[in-house]
Structures are given as C-alpha cells and as structure tokens.
Amino acid sequence: MRTPQLADATGTGTAGLGNVIEVGGLRQKYGDFEAVRGISFTVPRGELFALLGTNGAGKTTTMEVLEGFAPATDGTVRVLGLDPVRQHRELRPRVGIMLQEGGFLGDLTVAETVDLWRGLSEDAGRPVTLSGGTELPGSLTLFGRVRGVGRATMGALELVGLESKARTKVRQLSGGQKRRLDLALAVLSRPEVLFLDEPTTGMDPEARRTTWQVIEDLRAGGTTVLLTTHYLEEAERLASRLAIMHEGLIHTYGTVEEVVAGSGDTIAFRLPGTTWSFGDLPAPDGVTPTLTYADGGTEVVYAIAGGQPETRAHAALRPLLAWADEHGEVLERLAVRRGTLEDAFMRVVGERR
C-alpha cells in the first residue's frame, strides 16, 4: 500500500501533484468500533478510482469522510486540496454526490425534483416553480405548477434515460429509476469531483450500461470519480485504479491489470485414468497441481502465480507438454485461464477469513 504525501496543506483549493483526492492514514471510529483502520490512497485528476470490498469493509464510511459528512477520527483527507469538513462550503459546489440511498420527496414529480435540486445548488434563495404550496425546510417556499418541463431539466433527464418519467411522482419510480434520478442530480452541476456510492445497484443491464456511459463521458470531460461497487465487472470496465477493502483495511491497490496479475493464471486439463497422483506430475515453478478424480479420469489444475504475468503460462506449459510427450499422454481439454478480478477479490477475502 502506498502512503501519499499530502500536498497543499494550505487549503487554497488547488490539489497538489494533480491529486484531486488524497487520503493518508485515515481511521474512522463509531464509538469504540473502528470501521476504517488506517487507509491511504490518492486519485489523480480525471481518474476513476473504485473502492471494492466486502459488506461492512468501510467503503461508505470512507466516502462519507471525503464528502464532509463526518470529520476523520485520525489521518488526513483532502478533496481538491480542501478539508471536506472545515472547507465544506467552498468545496460543496464543486462536488457531485450520489449516496447509497437517496432521500427524495415522494410527492414531487421527477422534473420537479430536478428543478428543486437545480434551485438549491445554484441559488438557495431563488424561487423554484413546483406543485402547489409545498413547504420545504428553510426559507424556500414552492409554488405554482409545472406546465412544461424546462430544457435544462429535460437535458438532465435525457442523460439518464428518464425523460418519459418527467411528470411521474418520485414515489412511483422503481428502485433502478430512482438510482438514475439520483445520478442525474449528482451530475447536474457538472462537478469536478463525483462520489458514486453503489450507483448501479438495482438497475437492469441496459440502464447499467447507460450509466457507465454517462460516467465515462464525465470522466473523459475531466471529472474525477470515486466509486464504490459490488459489481466487479463495473470496476473492471470503469476504473483506472482500484482498491479492495476488507474489515477496514485496503489489502490490494493498483491498476486493474496489476491487481489481476497478482491473482495468477490457471492451467487445467484432464488425464485419462484415475491412478495419477500429484507426485507423478511435474511442478513448473515449484507449483504442484490439485487433482480431482471423476468419471474415469483425473482433472488436473495448476494455479500459477509466480513469474512474469505476460509469460508465466507459456513457461509453465513447456514442462507439462514435455512430460505428456515423454509419457505418451495427451492433456485433454487443456485450458489456460488468466486470473480475474473476482479471483483477486476472493483471494483477499479468503486469506483473511
């Protein structure tokens, strides 16, 4: 795990060394329970960083500290060079947040919700035209009825494929549609930094792909994104770098390729007959296989993790093929499989249980 140097402690709002998010030695407690136990990572400008991990690993807790909802128990966090709690007012307009559970007013329509959000984020004092007489906390009183839906609001809804729901009450939306509305609100002000806490949970595959495209477009436009997700495919598709968290700690950290390379390759084949034992077979790079006897044959699996990721499968195959030639055997159904992010994830979790 790398421990970043936290630049720009002056709090001028200019992130040091191009890092938009900087987390150094973060610890976060709830009472006596330490949910985050000393983690460090940085996210350079324009990158998408994914926090993966088991349930209760501390991902949302980390997000909440970065969003300024709670001060860190210990350690340093900076977003755009600013302290998320002490400089919250300065930071807030530059940040988009999609919480794990959005809190909507169910009686507002989708378009009214976007209008309200625009009004709140642009100028809290500006009147927003909404359904008759709805009274909100603070000084904002809503009045009138939306007849047409404004172009900016429609644009935000089109972005997430909700334009046909503009006049639907929020409480009538499905779970996945509410997530899409959440996303529309989070990106409304074209934020410099976007926090997405499990953004595609509950979405159907098409909506998930649309959401990925929205996120990719924002990132291509320079937005820095911190994402938590349980969908490894989502992290693989979107993340420049990622971390796998478990029980309050980061256990693996790097590019997708780096993390996957650490999980090794698998070479599998079948030998006819059930008399083979692992002592009969070669051990490329010191690796002995696991054997399973089934249907009159022996399933052989090697998990190769050492050596160069690019060439280790090739290097391991040589002695296996030489052994097969020498013994007059054929390696039936021979398959080489590269490690996956899921393998890396399971290794982190498995080693620590």
Axis-axis angle for helices 175-187, 151-159 (nearest 10): 120
- Here the tokens at position 47 are 């990158």
Determine the size of the site formed for ligand ATP (CB under 6 A).
11
- Binding status of residue 201 toward ligand ATP by CB under 6 A: no
- Binding status of residue 30 toward ligand ATP by CB under 6 A: yes
Shortest Å distance, C-beta 272 to ligand ATP: 46
Place of tokens 């693996």: 252
| CA torsion angle 32 35 38 40 (round to 10) | -150
Residue in 58, 96, 119, 264 binding ligand ATP, rule: CB under 6 A:
58
Q: Identify any residues that bridge with 299 across adjacent strands, giving them in sequence order.
A: 270, 292
- Binding status of residue 339 toward ligand ATP by CB under 6 A: no
Expressed in percent and rounded to 5, the helix, strand and coil fractions of the chain are 35, 30, 40
Cβ-based neighbour number of residue 296 at 10 Å:
8
- Binding status of residue 308 toward ligand ATP by CB under 6 A: no
- Binding status of residue 344 toward ligand ATP by CB under 6 A: no
Smallest CA-to-CA distance from 216 within 47, 342, 35 is with 47
d(CA 218, CA 208): 15
- Binding status of residue 57 toward ligand ATP by CB under 6 A: yes
Shortest Å distance, C-beta 226 to ligand ATP: 13
- Contact assessment for residue 73 and residue 28, using Cβ atoms and an 8 Å cutoff: yes
Shortest Å distance, C-beta 233 to ligand ATP: 16
- Binding status of residue 143 toward ligand ATP by CB under 6 A: no
Residue 309 identity: P
Listed ranges 58-66, 102-110, 127-135, 330-338: which one lies at the site for ligand ATP (CB under 6 A): 58-66
- Binding status of residue 121 toward ligand ATP by CB under 6 A: no
- Binding status of residue 352 toward ligand ATP by CB under 6 A: no
- Binding status of residue 53 toward ligand ATP by CB under 6 A: yes
Phi, psi (5° rounding) for residue 245? -105, 150
Shortest Å distance, C-beta 67 to ligand ATP: 12
Binding to ligand ATP by CB under 6 A, coded x per residue (else -) over 220-259, reads ----------------------------------------
Which residues does 87 contact at the CB level (< 8 Å), separation at least 6? Answer: 11, 13
Residue in 19, 40, 61, 266 binding ligand ATP, rule: CB under 6 A:
61
Shorter beta-carbon distance to ligand ATP: residue 30 or 143? 30
What is the gyration radius of the CA atoms in the chain, in angstroms? 26
In the complex, the residues that contact ligand ATP under the rule CB under 6 A are 30, 33, 35, 53, 55-61
